[in-house]
Amino acid sequence: MASLKALKILDLTRVAPNPNSPHSAAEFSLPLTFFDAFWIKFPPVERVFFYQLTDSNPHHFISVILPKLKHSLSLTLLHYLPLAGSIIWPDDAPKPSIHYTQNDAVSLIVAESNADFHRLSGDGIRESVELRSLVPELLTCDDKASLISLQITFFPNQGFCLGVTNHHAIMDGMSVLMFMKSWAYICKQAEENPALLPELTPLFDRTVIRDPAGLDMVYLKNWSDFFNSGRTNKHLSLKVMQNLGVNPNSARATFKLTSEDVKILKQRVLSIINKVERDDQMNPKKQQASVMEENGIGIVAEKISDIIKGIDEKELYEGGEKRLTKSWDMEQGAQVIGVAGSIRFEVYGVDFGWGRPKKVEIVSTDRTGAIALAESREGNGVEIGVVLSPHEFDVFASLFVSGLQNL
C-alpha cells in the first residue's frame, strides 16, 4: 500500500455570499422536483481540480492566491445563493426543500499537503484512498443536508487543488461546472461585483419543470420504503449513502482515446448498426450471430440509438414511477455500469487566472463504481477514469491497448 503523506489543516471556515451586495437576499426556499428526489440518497459527487504552479511558495499562496479565491467565492455565491443553504424537511412539510437564510454559508477547508502533486494529478495507477484527503465531506444528518462543501489544498512549490463535494440531488454535472466556471470567471475580473455571462447565469424557476404524475412524491416514498427507517412521526432521513457497495480497497487510473481513435470507433459502431438493421430485415435469427461476431458492440450501439430516438415528453413521464425501483430489482449477478461526467462539460476550461487545470478527476467513482468521462486536456480526445480492484488493472490495461490496436 502506498504511504499516505500528511495533510495539514490550515483553516476551517465558512464563506458566505457577500453581505454588502444589493443582490443578497434575507431568506427564501425552493421546492425539490422529481429530478432532485430521484437522487436524494445517492452518494455525493466529488471532484478535484489540480492547478500546477511551480513558483508558488507558502507566502504567495497565503497572501495572494487564497484571499483571491475566497473573495471571488463570496461574490459567486451571490449568484448561486441556494448553494449556501441546506436541504431541510420540516415535520409539517410533505417533502424536502432547499432553504436559505442570511446566516448560511459554504464550508471551506484550507489545507497543505507534502504529497507528490505530479503523482496525484497523473494518469497512472494509484490507490483510490490517495485522493480521498483532497475532497471534503458533505455534512448531512436526518433533518438537514448541505448542498456543497469545498477544500483548497496547497502543495508547496507544486501547485494547489480544489476539492468540490456536492449533493447529487441538487447539482448535476453541468450545474457543478457552471458554478466552477462562474467562480473562475469572477476570480479573473477586476471589478468588485462583475455580472456573470449569460451562459453562466443559473435559473432557479422550478415552475418550468412539470410533474403531472407526481413523481417527486413517488420517489420519496420509494426511498422511504427501501430504507424502512421506522422513525416515528419523522420523514425519510436526509443522510446520504456513503457508497454503493464498491470495493473500498480499489485503485484508479486514467486511459485516453485520441480523436482518431474516437473517429474510428464511431465509424465502426455506425457500420455495425447498419449491418444489424440489414440482417434484421433479411433474417431476424441472423441478427444475434452477426452481433456476436462484432463482440457485442452492435447490441449496445443499437439499444442506445433506439432509446435516444424514442425519447419524447410522454416517454419522460410514462413508466417513471417504476424508474427508481427498477434499479434495485436487477437480476442477481447482473452488472450495472454507470457513467459519471461528460465530454461536453469542458472541465479543463475552469481557469481562475493561473492557467487551465493540469488534471480534473471525479473522486467519487471509488464509491459508485462509475466510469468517469471527460474531454482530454489537449482537446484532442477523451479521458476515461476507471476504478478497479488492483489485481484487475493489468488485465484491463491489456484489453484496452489490444482493443485500440484492433479498431
The Cα 354–Cα 188 span in angstroms is 9
Containing 75, the helix (H) or strand (E) segment is helix 66-77
For 20, the grid coordinates are 454588502
Is 351 part of the annotated catalytic residue set? yes
Among 207, 204, 185, smallest CA distance to 80 is for 204
Among 159, 128, 130, 109, smallest CA distance to 369 is for 128
The Cα 323–Cα 109 span in angstroms is 37
Considering the candidates 168, 216, 235, 279, report the single residue annotated as catalytic. 168
Task: Let me know: does 341 contact 362? Beta carbons within 8 Å.
Answer: yes
The Cα 184–Cα 350 span in angstroms is 6
Residue 168's SS3 state is coil
For residue 279, how many C-alpha atoms fall within 13 Å in the half-sphere facing its CB? 17
Task: Let me know: does 385 contact 222? Beta carbons within 8 Å.
Answer: no
Scan for cell 433474417, then name that residue: 283
The Cα 396–Cα 403 span in angstroms is 10
Considering the candidates 142, 143, 172, 351, report the single residue annotated as catalytic. 351
The Cα 173–Cα 342 span in angstroms is 8
Is 279 part of the annotated catalytic residue set? no
Catalytic residues: 168, 351
